């Protein structure tokens, strides 16, 4: 499939998903022009705030392929990814993002993520969501153990 065909499939998923009770978002993960996985927004249907189209597509692709590193794959998404999805895309090591609508288009229909982007630039103590470091000396033990583990699988 061409890039345009893959994007059209993501857009088609976003339109179909509205009819199926979900949000107006769809995503496709592909490798060499072949669809590996698809995802749609199921936040309200599944009562899961992380069930965005991109995250669902990543979950489906990694489950289907039995890998956690999607290097060599691309994601086609009906809308520019939110901060959570963008983070997931980076963690999944996808090679490229193609998107249809942009974050301003999303903001115009009530999906405004700009406050999250703004919050990320602040120190934890200056964010609207109160944050406080707690039991650091105890928590660091897990990081020390990880750092010293010789047979760890890095990701």
Burial of residue 110 (number of CB atoms within 10 Å: 0-12, 13-18, 19+): exposed
Q: How far apart are CA 27 and CA 74, in angstroms?
A: 10
Residue 143 to residue 135: CA distance in whole angstroms: 13
Angstrom distance (rounded) from CA 62 to CA 68: 5
54 is catalytic: yes
- Nearest Cα to 7, choosing from 78, 95, 60? 78
Helix, strand, coil percent values for the chain (each to nearest 5):
45, 15, 35
Catalytic residue among 5, 54, 80, 133: 54
Which one, of 69, 15, 66, 68, lies nearest residue 40 by Cα? 15
Active site residues: 54
């Amino acid at each position: 499939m061409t890039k345009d065909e893959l994007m059209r499939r993501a857009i088609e998923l976003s339109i179909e998903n509205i009819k199926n009770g979900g949000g107006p978002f769809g995503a496709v993960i592909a490798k060499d022009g072949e669809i590996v996985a698809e995802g749609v927004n199921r936040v309200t249907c599944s009562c899961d705030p992380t069930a965005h189209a991109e995250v669902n597509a990543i979950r489906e692709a990694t489950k289907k392929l039995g890998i956690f590193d999607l290097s060599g794959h691309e994601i086609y998404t009906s809308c520019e990814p939110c901060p959570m999805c963008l983070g997931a895309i980076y963690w999944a090591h996808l090679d490229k993002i193609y998107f249809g609508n942009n974050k301003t288009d999303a903001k115009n229909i009530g999906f405004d993520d700009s406050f999250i982007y703004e919050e990320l630039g602040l120190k934890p103590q200056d964010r609207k969501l109160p944050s406080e470091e707690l039991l650091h000396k105890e928590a660091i033990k897990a990081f020390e153990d990880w750092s010293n583990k010789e047979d760890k699988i890095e990701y």
